[in-house]
Amino acid sequence: MTLCPSSHLLPLSNSPSPPPMAASLTTSSAASRLLLLPSASARAPLHRLSAPHSTNTSLAASSSYAFSPLKCRRYSPLPPRAFSNQRASSMSTVAAASDPAQLKSAREDIKEILNSKFCHPILVRLGWHDAGTYNKSIEEWPRRGGANGSLRFEIELKHAANAGLVNALSLLQPIKEKYSGVTYADLFQLASATAIEEAGGPKIPMKYGRVDVSSAEECPEEGRLPAAGPPSPADHLREVFYRMGLNDKEIVALSGAHTLGRSRPDRSGWGKPETKYTKNGPGAPGGQSWTAEWLKFDNSYFKDIKAQIDEDLLVLPTDAAIFEDPAFKVYAEKYAEDQDAFFKDYAEAHAKLSNLGAKFDPPEGIVLDGVQGEKFVAAKYSSGKD
């Protein structure tokens, strides 16, 4: 999983100029990987990306963690009018609690988009990147970051880790306009959880009612999300996710979301231009996926990283770290053998991630379908208390 995927945040400087934006949202959305990959200046040699056939291969030679690095190349597309913080007054209006009926209707519209656009990975990434800026040592909302809808503003959208997420916003904007009683913060997390469920993953015990930030000045600074190819992948993952209040089990479980998606070297600097699994799409052909069925949510990510027998499957340094680091490996081995255990732990970790830093209105949140959300109180959590 990697918040930054994700968050995989790396420096924006010295990043190569971005390629032209994909001609269609269907194409760019389907092609997006779950998380952002690091900038070209931070990436490891390409020969380290594909695991060798030897079963005795060092994971360090493959790549690390599931939260693809947020430090991708600098990408500054001209955002659609709806996402410009200089326009559209609705973008700078603090929304109150979301309306439960509208949330349910919005979820059905999201399902239709998923079925037609194959955009599951990029919608998961959108939710994670909005939440993944959370810093548990900061009490004040929204300065602490987290799931507050700030990613809709151009200044944050232009963070290197968020390259390409303008396409996810464009997909969801018509839904936001249709359901004005749903906040952006809730919409991002609703889309992320729905994408996991529609791809065959577990039911996420979500709650809603997140309040949106009101202006671009409330966006977090760049650099809070994770990277894919840091010098010490396991240490880096802990540094980033411990800051959010997540533990080793949650880091590994969330990494498993890399079972979805693919990366493209011309956009992120990672992976192959095309493999036998991606040459025919769906969506725009090309890129390199972590798993053979990269739109199906299961435990293939752990199985494939453990086996390391297919050069057409991507392994980042952070991915490799989950089988290299002794504490991470305990969970990675478990999830490779037991999909039910993975689904249970993933659902809990995803729900926790989606609540990071959020301010809920009402304070207890809104539960849909009688599914009780993870008992998480943002203010309490931010103080480091149980």
pLDDT in tens, the chain (386 residues): 434 333 333 222 233 333 333 333 333 333 344 443 333 333 333 333 333 333 332 222 223 233 333 333 333 333 444 444 433 333 434 434 699 999 999 999 999 999 999 999 999 999 999 999 999 999 999 999 999 999 999 999 999 888 889 999 999 999 999 999 999 999 999 999 999 999 999 999 999 999 999 999 999 999 999 877 888 999 999 999 999 999 999 999 999 999 999 988 876 778 899 999 999 888 778 999 999 999 999 999 999 999 988 999 999 999 999 999 999 999 999 999 999 999 999 999 999 999 999 999 999 999 998 755 445 444 444 433 33
Q: CA–CA separation, 369 vs 374, rounded Å?
A: 14
Q: CA–CA separation, 69 vs 159, rounded Å?
A: 12
pLDDT given for residue 70 in this prediction = 34
Q: CA–CA separation, 302 vs 280, rounded Å?
A: 24
pLDDT given for residue 371 in this prediction = 54
Count of other CB atoms within 10 angstroms of residue 284: 18
Helix ranges restricted to H, 41-119: 100-117
Residues 6+ apart with CB under 8 A from 63: 44, 48, 49, 228, 229, 233, 270, 314, 315, 316, 317, 318, 319, 320
pLDDT given for residue 218 in this prediction = 97
pLDDT given for residue 265 in this prediction = 84
Six-digit token pair at 160? 């290197």
Residue 227's alpha-carbon distances to 43, 58, 166, 177, 370, in angstroms, are 9, 20, 20, 33, 37
Q: CA–CA separation, 241 vs 244, rounded Å?
A: 5
3-state secondary structure of 365: coil
User: Contact 292/356 with Cβ under 8 angstroms?
Assistant: no
pLDDT given for residue 269 in this prediction = 73
The sign one gets for the Cα dihedral 168, 172, 173, 176 is negative
- Tell me the catalytic residues: 129
Looking at residue 76, the DSSP 8-state letter turns out to be -
State the SS3 of 203-263: CCCCCECECCCCCHHHCCCCCCCECCCCCCHHHHHHHHHHHHCCCHHHHHHHHHHHHCCEE
